[in-house]
Structure 1
Amino acid sequence: MIDVLQHINYQQDSLLPRRDRNHTTTILVLGATGKAGRNLVPALLSRQVEVRAATRNSEAFDGTSNATVVRFDWNDRQTCSAALDGADGVYLIKPESESATDLVSEFLAEMTRAGASRLVLHSEDAAKTRSATDEERRVELVVEQSEFDWTIIRPNWFIQDLDDQYFFGGMIRDKGIIAMTTGGAGVSWIDSRDIAATAVELLCDPSLCRNEAFTLSGPEALTIEALTNRIRSITGHHVVPVEETIDAAEVRMRRDGLPEDLIAYLKRLNASIIAGDTATVTDSVERVTGRPPRSIDNFLAEWAPQLAAQTENVSRAVVKANEALFGRQIKAWAGNDIDSLLECYNNDIVYVDVPFPDQPVRGLDAFRAHMINYNGQFDRSDFVAEIITLVANETHVVGELFCTGRYIGTGSPEGGVIISWSATLVETVVEGKICSERAYFDPTIFEKAVVKASC
């Protein structure tokens, strides 16, 4: 393990050529397909800078063809030296690895050998609060102890995370919520385009903010309640805030199977929000670029048409999924396939036969026993359940059935009696599972059929 407090001895490479430290012409951009990188590459090109756009999968790069696309993989040392070939400066985003400090230290040594002199490290807002033993801060210390013309930028949460399926996009579109652990503190969301604009200035002028670390923020800090209010008012999309405690978030992350190192990292982020670190509003963007950062209102106005289209597509998909769920449920019930039937329900199902409102069935185990008993009243060899009407939305399904079966339950004559009846099911669906069901039917139909068969 490399000791980050040990000064890296770059003097041993002093015989290698060094480029003019005041003239940066070729920039290597790591993470060129990321939120900031995809904006940084064209911005640098517009300044007549040669760009080497680094990515693990060069075929996935969708930037301008004027950039030189190079393959870069932190786990492949050979790609490191090849990517740095001819570079004067580097836009560096730390790797997502338990060995990030070691990897960055090795990369800086390669930078020296390649003759690069300018370095902008994309860190994170929370890093300034971390101890020297945390990986985020350790990477910063390696950079700070180097002899490059370095600047560390610490962006706050990206506004674009709201549209990212892996951050908040999915829950906003699919569930109408934003779940965060904030303790009531705010976040000064920043547009990734402003991060790129700031990085352009820093990379093109090595004398600017030399050996300095600073936070990049948007123009205002918003609590989760204020954020959801802003989303609703500007986009028209209904979304509500969900405040999650650190302990509850940890339980959920373990339940979801997240690795322990990622859980620890996310807990540090949550603690930083609660401590108020992310509520800081700075003038760094304007100080470097000469203009104020974009507001979250600006982003939301741009996002609104796309969000509406995405939400409509998601809504249609959910409705179709709920219709299909109802079809699977009735097929399993009619076929007396209890296991397949139970897969349609969640563990906390509440089932009510509406004619008997004082006899609700609660929980999957009780529901299993109820359905086994109910289905046992019929000879299943010729049982038919036909869906007559089906109406569904994102959260509910209403289906009308016409059923015919040979009743062999209590009071039935030998050989049973054929009975036909209608039933209406009203169901609430959450995340693809039925959580409540109410069945409407006339129970006297069975009694009348038995009496008639006995006459």
Structure 2
Amino acid sequence: MREALPLSAVIRCPSNSVHLPAGIRRQCTTTTRTTIAMSQILVIGASGKTGRHVVTGLITRGATVRAASRTPEKLDLEEVYRVRFDWHDESTWGPAIEGIEGVYLVKPESADVVEVVGRFLEEVKTAGVVRVVLLSEGATQTRPDHIAERHVERVVEASDLEWTILRPSWYMDDLVDEDFFGTMIRNDRVIVMTTGGSATAWIDARDIAEVAAEILVNGGAARQALNLTGPEALTLDQLAKRITATAGPVEGVEESVAEAQKRMRADGLDEGFVTYITRISESIVEGNTAIVTGEVARVTARPPRNIDTFLAEHESQLRPSGKVRSETHAEQALRCARNNEALFRRQISAWAGNKIDDLVDCYASSIVYRDMPFPDEPISGKAAFREHMKGYNALFADGQVEVELVTLTASGTNVVGELRCHARYVGPGAPEEGAPVSWYATLIDTVVDGEIVSEHAYFDPATFDRAVQQVTS
């Protein structure tokens, strides 16, 4: 066991780097940061995806680590104290936190998680613990307070501890995990997700752990929630291409929320888990996981690992383990239909949100677009289509349209979608405050190689005149 090197409880540093003893060097700022002297840190989930790397990060920073597990004798970790800890056996809590200054908290998987974590935090406070880092999950801040994962955060936020909440995006490690994507990538050569065409900023578990270890030992980010991501966000198609470049052909297969729920129920998963995964999928579809942050670099003073580095390191786990089964014609058609449906949903989301660049990205350079009430005025090419849509969205307040998908049918080559639209019309003839308008539209798209090459839009242009007349009459 390597003992922690003695430091004063408070270190004041100038704005330049200060050379500290080996293992606990850090970049200091002009602000005062409290470093725990002779750090004694409890790591819950010490054998988990992040926990084992947190242990390493703490040791390299000079901390004394207490590794917690229900079966501590099975922990294959060096230079740590092993201690039994069971969320469902509260008699194990006291011995685990005795003399501890900081805790890496990985919440339990249980129906009463909020109550359990609440009781644990009370015991932690009584024991004199200074600092807690909670491993949460990405986009939790977008969920209502009564949802379990957000409710746990609120309990931590309400404590008197020096807390930090980590909200990491989806782990790169799940790409090789047997319980996530590992088997399907290696054996079936597909990666199935529900994304709606939105991207995810995948993050390496080691980067999450480095952030946690740095904060637990050296402080910073007190009473803050940090959104942790990798250096770039990738769509499902882009991710599949990156994996293909490293480990051979892999296809990204888009799965709707309903399809995912049906599959999970068929696999015998309980409704609580199905609901939880659905929340994650909906968060991805809404674009919450596509935001790239700089928190990893800010806390650790180095950039996060990129997806290509991770894939290269795990190439052997991504390559086929045996003979790869060929995809049947029916399976290929279904995959194409799902991908085309995802493309359509992304297209409509971009249009409704007035994200013209994202909208145009859904179309081929040779796009031919027709407003069917005006069949003699087709629009050809991306540049002309961009200007047309900019002008069209300018007819509505802030360019925003509320869209409800009434029906949606997709095949390997076409998508047909019926929309019910609501907006405030501010175009020609409208009063200054605009006129509320609702209308139906039907889009018929032809898709080739993941891009819309033609689109026919059916709607009644007289709807807008009637809306203005109702307001002004």
TM range (shorter): 0.5 to 0.7
What is the aligned partner in structure 1 of residue 318 from structure 2? 307
Aligned to 2:50: 36
Q: In percent, how many aligned pairs have the same letter?
A: 47
Please give the alpha-carbon distance, in whole angstroms, between the structure 1 residues aligned to 2:181 and 2:318: 12
- Among candidates 208, 220, 234, match of residue 246 of structure 2: 234
Q: State the secondary structure of the residue aligned to 2:103.
A: strand
CA deviation after TM superposition for structure 1 residue 22, in Å: 4.7
Contact 2:200/2:290, CA 8 A, preserved across alignment: yes
1:306, distance to aligned residue in structure 2 (A): 4.1
Q: Rg larger in 1 or in 2? A: 1
Deviation at 1:217, TM superposition (A): 0.0
Q: Structure 1 residue 48: deviation in Å?
A: 1.4
> Conserved in 1, the CA contact under 8 Å of 2:51 and 2:209?
yes
Which residue number corresponds to residue 135 of structure 1?
148
Task: Choose the corresponding residue for 1:211, options 209, 223, 235.
Answer: 223
Q: d(CA) in 1 for partners of 2:115 and 2:196? A: 34
The whole-number CA distance in structure 2 between the counterparts of 1:216 and 1:240 is 27
Following superposition, the deviation at residue 315 of structure 1 comes to 3.8
Equivalent residue letter for 1:180: M
* Match in the other structure for 1:57: 71
For 1:126 and 1:103, locate their aligned partners in 2 and report how far apart those are by CA, in whole Å: 23
Q: Structure 2 counterpart of 1:230, which letter?
A: R
Q: Secondary structure at the match of 1:81?
A: helix
- Match of residue 286 from structure 2: 275
Match of 1:45 among 45, 59, 74: 59
How far has the Cα of 1:307 moved from its partner? 3.2
Q: CA RMSD in A?
A: 1.9
Question: What residue in structure 1 maps to residue 261 of structure 2?
Answer: 250
Asked if 1:224 is matched to 2:224, the reply is: no
Distance (Å, rounded) in 1 between the aligned partners of 2:234 and 2:184: 19
Of 221-230 and 197-206, more deviation after overlay is shown by 197-206
Aligned pairs for 1:108-119 (under 5 A) are 108-119=121-132
Asked if the contact 2:176/2:317 (under 8 Å) is kept, the reply is: no
Cα contact 2:166–2:226 (8 A) shared by 1:
yes
From 263, 279, 298, the equivalent of 1:287 is 298
Residues 43-52 or 157-166, more deviating: 43-52
Q: Secondary structure at the match of 2:68?
A: strand
Shift of 1:252: 1.0
SS of residue paired to 1:121: strand
In structure 1, how many angstroms separate the alpha carbons of the residues matched to 2:323 and 2:208? 34
Tell me by how many angstroms 1:52 deviates.
0.6
Q: 3-state SS of the aligned residue for 1:125?
A: coil
Partner SS state of residue 278, structure 1 = coil
* Matched-pair contact (CA < 8 Å) for 2:186–2:317: no
* Unaligned segments of structure 2, at least 5 residues: 1-8, 11-33, 326-473
| Match in the other structure for 2:183 | 170
Change (3 A) 1:179 1:306: closer
CA contact (8 A) 1:42 1:63 kept: no
User: 2:65 aligns to what SS in structure 1?
Assistant: strand
Whole-angstrom CA distance in 2 between matches of 1:87 and 1:104: 17
Secondary structure (helix, strand or coil) at the match of 2:265 reads helix
Give the counterpart of 1:123 among 136, 140, 148: 136
Can you list the C-alpha shifts for 1:212-270, whole angstroms capped at 9, x where unaligned?
Answer: 111000000000100000000122x2211111100111111111111111111011001
What is the distance in 2 between the residues matched to 1:224 and 1:79? 43
**1:264 corresponds to which letter in structure 2?**
T
State the one-letter code of the partner of 2:109.
E
Query: What stretches of structure 1 of length at least 5 have no aligned partner?
Result: 1-18, 319-455
**What's the counterpart of residue 116 of structure 2?**
103
Q: CA deviation at 1:174?
A: 1.5
CA deviations 1:351-375 (Å, max 9, x no partner) are xxxxxxxxxxxxxxxxxxxxxxxxx
Following superposition, which runs of at least 4 residues in structure 1 exceed 3 angstroms of deviation?
A: 19-22, 305-308
Retained in 2: the 8 A contact 1:89–1:119? yes
Task: Note if contact 2:35-2:217 (Cα within 8 Å) is conserved in structure 1.
Answer: no
Normalized against structure 2, the TM-score is what? Answer: 0.60
SS of alignment partner, residue 289 of structure 2: helix
Letter in 2 for 1:232: T
* Contact 2:135–2:166 (CA under 8 A) maintained in structure 1: yes
Residue deviations 1:86-140 (CA, integer Å, cap 9, x gap): 1100000111111111000011011012111101011001311110110001000
